[in-house]
């Protein structure tokens, strides 16, 4: 609560104290209600908490407390993208696959929803390259990177990857976009499925469209993939940092219906939700374990890496 209220005050400096206090009071009362009468909420789990928080933020006019941070971090990450792409293009194929995976995991450390990474961010000890270098050594907590690489090297290209992305900044720009570009090169159509509404520092579909089109675009290949329909942005209908696949918008379901690879990126979408979900196509789950409760729940240590590839 204190972290969220500080962020609201920073993003909405003109909001008067009473309005912020109203939000805080109502939020505490809803949390109390969930605690006392969980049955009133259908189910009481972390997704319920996220949904309630976002609904209250919107109700009180604080739709997107992380907007300024996302905008700033997107610009910084886009500026670093050409260097990341050059490094990937110069790497041997095996090394390239590993660099892409490490970029995805390091990118995911830009997360203002977890105390450990939020603290790093606010301390200024926030650097993509260093984070990537300091990832735990392989094998990771769950490490299917070799199987993933073999699948791409020896199998037919996937037709269509439904890539559920997570955070703004490094995560989308230096983790997800380079991997999407790599998959498109191999003949796979990629749909980047992003939240329709703001949640924490997650990228929204609207923001993502701005990142890959128009003046912002810094890579011709990505721009071409977008204009030729190989790389698409699909709004999920969601506005939480977790993903309820039963609640995807009909448009999203229709757009992803022929996907033969599902990618669930980030702790919220691949561990806190959908960890035990079963699919009728191949699935890649990628995450860094950034929360002590989640770590205890899955038997991992804080900052452990998950690269979990589950072929059908």
In the complex, the residues that contact Mg ion under the rule CB under 5 A are 166-167, 202, 241
Q: Which is nearer to Mg ion, 167 or 196 (CB)?
A: 167
CB 309, CB 284: distance < 8 Å: yes
Query: 3-state SS of the chain: helix, strand, coil percent to 5?
Result: 55, 15, 35
**Minimum distance from CB of 111 to Mg ion (Å)?**
5
Q: Based on CB atoms, which residue is closest to Mg ion, 188 or 273?
A: 273
Q: Which is nearer to Mg ion, 109 or 212 (CB)?
A: 109
- Which conformational region is residue 156 in: left (phi greater than 0), alpha (psi within -120 to 50 degrees), or beta? beta
Smallest distance from Mg ion to CB 75, Å: 19
**Shortest distance, CB of residue 303 to Mg ion, whole angstroms?**
16
CA atoms within 13 A on the CB side of 155: 14
Contact present, 306 and 287 (Cβ < 8 Å): yes
CA neighbor of 160 nearest in space, from 284, 283, 285, 258: 258
Question: In the complex, what is the shortest distance from the CB of residue 99 to Mg ion, in angstroms, rounded to a whole number?
Answer: 22
Residue 230 near residue 260, CB atoms below 8 Å: no
CB of 167 to Mg ion, least distance (A): 4
Contact between residue 12 and residue 65 where contact means Cβ atoms under 8 Å apart: yes
Supply the DSSP symbol for 94: H
The residue behind tokens 């995560």 is 171
Q: Which is nearer to Mg ion, 142 or 203 (CB)?
A: 203
The tokens for 111 are 């997360």
* Helix runs in the chain, H state only: 2-11, 17-36, 46-59, 67-90, 93-107, 115-123, 128-133, 145-154, 170, 177-185, 205-212, 220-227, 250-256, 267, 292-298
**Angle in degrees, 0-180, between the axes of helices 220-227 and 205-212, rounded to the nearest 10:** 120
Residue with Cβ nearer Mg ion (176 or 180): 176
- Enumerate residues 6+ apart whose C-beta is below 8 A from 117: 109, 110, 111, 290
CB of 39 to Mg ion, least distance (A): 29
**Of 107 and 178, which CB lies nearer to Mg ion in the complex structure?**
107
Question: Shortest approach of Mg ion to residue 257 CB, angstroms?
Answer: 25
Which CB atom, from 167 or from 270, has the smaller least distance to Mg ion?
A: 167
Give the residues across from 310 on adjacent strands: 283
Please state the closest distance from residue 77 (CB atom) to Mg ion, in A: 14
Nearer to Mg ion, 178 or 241 (CB): 241
Nearest approach, Cβ of 266 to Mg ion (angstroms)?
A: 5
Closest to Mg ion by CB, 191 vs 240, is 240
């Amino acid at each position: 609560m204190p972290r969220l209220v500080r962020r609201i005050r920073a993003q909405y400096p003109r909001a008067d104290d009473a309005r912020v206090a109203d939000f805080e009071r109502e939020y505490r009362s809803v949390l109390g209600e969930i605690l006392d009468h969980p049955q009133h909420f259908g189910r009481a789990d972390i997704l319920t908490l996220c949904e309630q928080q976002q609904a209250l933020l919107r109700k009180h006019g604080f739709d997107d407390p992380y907007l300024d941070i996302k905008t700033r971090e997107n610009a910084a990450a886009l500026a670093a993208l050409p260097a990341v792409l050059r490094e990937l293009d110069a790497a041997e194929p095996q090394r390239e696959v590993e660099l892409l995976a490490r970029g995805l995991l390091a990118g995911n450390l830009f997360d203002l929803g977890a105390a450990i990474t939020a603290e790093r961010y606010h301390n200024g000890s926030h650097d993509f390259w260093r984070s990537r270098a300091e990832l735990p050594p392989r094998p990771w907590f769950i490490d299917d990177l070799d199987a993933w690489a073999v699948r791409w090297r020896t199998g037919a290209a996937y037709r269509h990857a439904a890539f559920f992305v997570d955070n703004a900044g490094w995560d989308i720009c230096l983790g997800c976009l380079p991997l999407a570009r790599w998959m498109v090169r191999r003949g796979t159509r990629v749909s980047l499925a992003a939240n329709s509404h703001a949640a924490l520092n997650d990228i929204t579909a609207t923001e993502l469209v701005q990142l890959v089109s128009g003046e912002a675009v810094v890579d011709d290949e990505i721009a071409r993939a977008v204009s030729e329909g190989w790389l698409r942005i699909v709004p999920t209908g969601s506005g939480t940092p977790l993903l309820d696949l039963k609640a995807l918008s009909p448009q999203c379901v229709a757009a992803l219906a022929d996907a033969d690879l599902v990618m669930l990126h980030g702790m919220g979408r691949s561990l806190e939700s959908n960890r035990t979900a079963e699919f009728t196509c191949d699935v890649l789950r990628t995450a860094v374990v950034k929360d002590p409760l989640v770590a205890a729940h899955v038997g991992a240590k804080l900052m452990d890496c998950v690269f979990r590839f589950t072929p059908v």
